[in-house]
């Protein structure tokens, strides 16, 4: 009996693999590139994964009859989830190719909705809308979240969608029982790191007696996560009490906070590079951060050091929540128009006001410059300047943002009053906006720079490269001398518009338009613009996207290749 079962199983396996299917295509009601029924989306529904185009050495998947049937069933269920309950999904196999035919037919619509008026605005569906399971589920989540955000964490929701295939309509019913309002009770903190309680308590976004709001717990978690030293963070409300008070327990377990790193890299702006660094994110406790690093590339080397103290140790109300940062660096670098040996120190005090980060500080830099331009002198310079910066950051992520905006303004004022060799005023204004639509992200960035006088070449604005106008090499936008050395500018507008389509979660393709105005005159905004267009590939890594771009300057001709890592927007 066992032998017979084995032979039958072996025969079945042989039959499944006898005629391997090498090609799979979709026909009928499909979307060409983007949409719920695009090829990429349908492959994901069927759990079929082709290797990325750049991994050309990997074999493409092959299929058997059973897998094609599973794919057919999966697409049918997927179609129903999108409201196409009468969809017709069939397949055909010829030789080593399979074709799945998709006929969506008419979608089903919402006939009626029963719900209290207080919650109607939370629904993603209304009467006569095309019904989808995703919108129904998200509507339920919106109501639950609303209850949790407004003091009713124990509120109950009974939601049903009645699908009538004879009448081909959906009737939705939402019944909500809020219960009594709840309030935050006491909180306890369990912490094993060398961090004083008052620093942790500053991140707690609620106090005893406040109306319960789960968003306050999320904001508390995010603030503690940003400390960067904990491997485990729990902000847990206790919903088992018989009162309307909700105690909260916060548990923090310290992880690795010291790191020694080194690496090798390459980007088209600076060529091959070697870097090494040491950082300590809890330097002698209380979240002080210390970092020292070195970078060597084909253009020279740079050594930098940073000490960050999150709270000035001065007991005065004016210094509450004021951080201080001290940055010291030395570099010996060869740029496109000059070479530079520079030592600079920057002391910065920062504090958050009304959702913005405000920083004031003092910059002192000593430079030895060797100019490659006849119009600008070589020499030694000592500049001292106070500065101010304000930043409003509403992006959903600083590493890989998908939505939001970022605005910053920076002003630096060199003055002989501070023993600076040159009086000058420099400003930089930056705006970024990112918006995602399904598998597409559109991003915009513009930077406006001004200098109030003709300064030495090392203080000029430069543009071009993989973080700027990608139709040009690093710092090569604008006028040049007969030897091809760029002058840079005293007035600058540098703008980028990019649209990216995500092929997978980790891989995207992009098209972009870059334009830059770089004038050698102060406060001049009608000078020549340098335009370029291009195509790129993005591969997302834990430290940011690996970017490969081909930029085509519209007037100059040819193309420029860029490769780099890190976020532009």
| pLDDT, tens only, 334-350 | 999 999 999 999 999 99
pLDDT at 19: 65
For 547, phi and psi rounded to 5 degrees? -115, 130
**Confidence band (pLDDT; 50, 70, 90) for 32?**
confident
pLDDT above 60 (res 5): no
The β-bridge relationship of strands 183-191 and 245-254 is parallel
- Report, at the CATH architecture level, how domain 335-495+517-530 is classified: Beta Barrel (2.40)
How confident is the model over 164-184, as a mean pLDDT?
A: 95
How confident is the model over 310-333, as a mean pLDDT?
A: 89
pLDDT at 439: 85
**Confidence band (pLDDT; 50, 70, 90) for 204?**
very high
pLDDT at 381: 94
Using CA atoms, how far residue 541 sits from 23, 327, 424, 506, 507, in Å, is: 31, 28, 41, 8, 10
pLDDT above 50 (res 12): no
pLDDT above 60 (res 362): yes
pLDDT at 168: 95
Q: Who wins on pLDDT, 57 or 487?
A: 487
pLDDT at 506: 83
pLDDT at 398: 82
C-alpha to C-alpha distance for 427 and 430, rounded to whole angstroms: 10
For 431, phi and psi rounded to 5 degrees? -130, 130
Radius of gyration of the CA atoms of the chain, in A: 30
pLDDT at 267: 72
Nearest to residue 463, comparing CAs of 364, 529, 419?
A: 529
Query: Strand, coil or helix: what is 356?
Result: strand
pLDDT above 70 (res 16): no
CATH classification number, 183-254, choose in 2.30.30.40, 3.10.20.310, 3.40.50.300, 3.90.1150.10: 3.10.20.310
Lowest mean pLDDT among 254-258, 353-357, 406-410, 501-505: 501-505
* Tokens encoding 407: 């605005």
* Tokens encoding 133: 């399971």
Numbers of helices and strands, H then E, in the chain: 7, 25
The CATH number assigned to the domain with range 109-177 reads 3.10.20.310
Query: Strand, coil or helix: what is 44?
Result: helix
pLDDT at 11: 46
Look over the chain and give the mean of its residue pLDDT values, rounded to a whole number. 91
Q: Give the pLDDT confidence of 45-55 residue by residue, as tens digits.
A: 999 988 876 67
Planar angle of CA 402, 408, 413, nearest 5 degrees: 155
**Confidence band (pLDDT; 50, 70, 90) for 147?**
very high
Using CA atoms, how far residue 345 sits from 304, 365, 389, in Å, is: 10, 6, 17
How confident is the model over 307-312, as a mean pLDDT?
A: 93
pLDDT at 565: 80
**Buried/exposed code over 184-211 (b: 16+ C-beta within 10 A; e: otherwise):** bbebeeebebebeeeebeebbbbeeeee
C-alpha to C-alpha distance for 295 and 544, rounded to whole angstroms: 19
The sign of the dihedral angle between the CA atoms of 224, 226, 228, 231 is positive
State the fold for domain 18-103.
Ubiquitin-like (UB roll) (3.10.20)
pLDDT at 141: 96
Q: Give the pLDDT confidence of 446-473 residue by residue, as tens digits.
A: 999 999 999 999 999 999 988 899 999 9
pLDDT above 90 (res 281): yes
Q: What is the 3-state secondary structure (H, E, C) of 370-393?
A: EECCCCCCCEEEEEEEEEEEEEEE
pLDDT above 50 (res 562): yes
**Confidence band (pLDDT; 50, 70, 90) for 305?**
very high
pLDDT above 50 (res 540): yes
Task: Calculate helix-pair angle for 214-225, 133-149, nearest 10 degrees.
Answer: 90
**Confidence band (pLDDT; 50, 70, 90) for 317?**
confident
- CA 289, distance to chain mean position in Å, is 24
pLDDT at 245: 95
The percent of residues in the chain predicted with pLDDT above 90, rounded, is: 74
Q: Who wins on pLDDT, 316 or 525?
A: 525
Using CA atoms, how far residue 275 sits from 34, 179, 296, in Å, is: 41, 59, 6
Q: What is the 3-state secondary structure (H, E, C) of 282-323?
A: CCCCCCCEEEEEEEEECCEEEEEEEEEECCCCCCCHHHCCCE
DSSP for residue 226: T
The percent of residues in the chain predicted with pLDDT above 70, rounded, is: 96
Give the domain ranges of the chain.
18-103, 109-177, 183-254, 335-495+517-530
Using CA atoms, how far residue 114 sits from 161, 162, 441, 531, in Å, is: 10, 12, 36, 55
Highest mean pLDDT among 25-39, 105-119, 392-406: 105-119
> Does the pTM exceed 0.85?
no
pLDDT above 80 (res 475): yes
**Confidence band (pLDDT; 50, 70, 90) for 209?**
very high
Check for a shared fold between 18-103 and 335-495+517-530: no
C-alpha to C-alpha distance for 29 and 27, rounded to whole angstroms: 7
How confident is the model over 255-282, as a mean pLDDT?
A: 87
pLDDT above 90 (res 9): no
pLDDT at 10: 45
Q: How far apart are the first and last CA of the chain?
A: 67
Contact 377, 426 (CB under 8 A): no
pLDDT above 70 (res 7): no
Contacts of 173 (CB under 8 A, 6+ apart): 113, 114, 115, 158, 159, 160, 162
Burial class (CB in 10 A: 0-12, 13-18, 19+), 485: buried
């Amino acid at each position: 009996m066992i032998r017979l079962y084995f032979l039958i199983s072996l025969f079945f396996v042989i039959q499944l693999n006898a005629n391997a299917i090498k090609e799979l295509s979709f026909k009928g009601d499909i979307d060409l590139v983007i949409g719920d029924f695009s090829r990429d989306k349908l492959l994901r529904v069927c759990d079929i994964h082709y290797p990325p185009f750049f991994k050309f050495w990997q074999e493409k998947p092959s299929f058997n009859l059973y897998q094609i049937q599973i794919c057919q069933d999966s697409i049918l269920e997927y179609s129903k989830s999108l409201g196409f309950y009468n969809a017709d999904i069939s397949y055909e196999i010829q030789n080593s190719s399979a074709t799945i035919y998709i006929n969506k037919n008419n979608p089903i619509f919402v006939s009626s909705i029963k719900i209290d008026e207080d919650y109607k605005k939370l629904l993603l569906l209304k009467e006569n809308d095309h019904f989808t399971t995703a919108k129904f589920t998200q509507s339920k989540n919106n109501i639950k979240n609303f209850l949790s955000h407004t003091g009713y964490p124990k509120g109950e929701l009974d939601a049903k969608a009645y699908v009538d295939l004879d009448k081909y309509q959906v009737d939705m019913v939402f019944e909500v029982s809020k219960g009594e309002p709840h309030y935050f009770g006491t909180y306890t903190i369990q912490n094993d790191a060398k961090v004083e309680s008052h620093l942790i308590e500053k991140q707690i976004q609620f106090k005893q007696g406040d109306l319960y709001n789960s968003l306050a717990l999320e904001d508390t978690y995010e603030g503690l996560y940003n400390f960067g030293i904990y491997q485990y963070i729990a902000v847990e409300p206790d919903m088992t009490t018989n009162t309307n008070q909700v105690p909260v327990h916060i548990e923090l377990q310290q992880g690795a906070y010291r790191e020694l790193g080194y690496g090798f890299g390459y980007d088209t702006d600076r060529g091959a590079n070697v870097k090494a660094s040491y950082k300590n994110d809890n330097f002698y406790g209380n979240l002080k951060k210390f970092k020292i690093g070195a970078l060597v590339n084909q253009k020279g080397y740079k050594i930098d050091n940073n000490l960050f103290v999150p709270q000035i140790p001065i007991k005065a109300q004016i210094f509450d929540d004021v951080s201080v940062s001290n940055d010291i660096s030395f570099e010996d670098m060869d740029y496109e128009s000059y070479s530079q040996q520079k030592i600079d120190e920057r002391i910065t005090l920062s504090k958050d006001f009304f959702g913005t980060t405000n920083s004031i500080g003092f910059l002192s830099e000593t430079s030895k410059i060797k100019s490659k331009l006849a119009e600008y002198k070589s020499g030694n310079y000592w500049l001292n300047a106070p500065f101010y910066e304000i930043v409003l950051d509403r992006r959903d992520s600083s590493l890989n943002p998908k939505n939001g905006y970022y605005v910053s303004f920076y002003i630096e004022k060199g003055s002989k009053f501070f023993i600076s060799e040159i009086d000058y005023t420099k400003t930089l204004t930056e705006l970024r906006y990112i918006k995602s639509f399904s598998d597409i992200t559109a991003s915009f960035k513009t930077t406006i720079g001004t200098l109030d006088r003709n300064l030495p070449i090392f203080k000029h604005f430069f543009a071009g490269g993989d973080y700027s106008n990608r139709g040009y090499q690093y710092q090569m936008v604008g006028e040049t001398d007969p030897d091809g050395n760029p002058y840079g500018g005293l007035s600058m507008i540098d703008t980028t518009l990019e649209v990216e389509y995500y092929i997978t979660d980790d891989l995207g393709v992009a098209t972009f338009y870059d334009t830059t105005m770089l004038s050698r005159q102060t406060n001049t905004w009608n000078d020549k613009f340098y335009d370029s267009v291009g195509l790129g590939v993005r591969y997302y890594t834990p430290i940011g996207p690996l970017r490969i771009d081909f930029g085509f300057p519209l007037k100059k001709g040819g193309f420029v290749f860029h490769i780099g890592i890190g976020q532009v927007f």
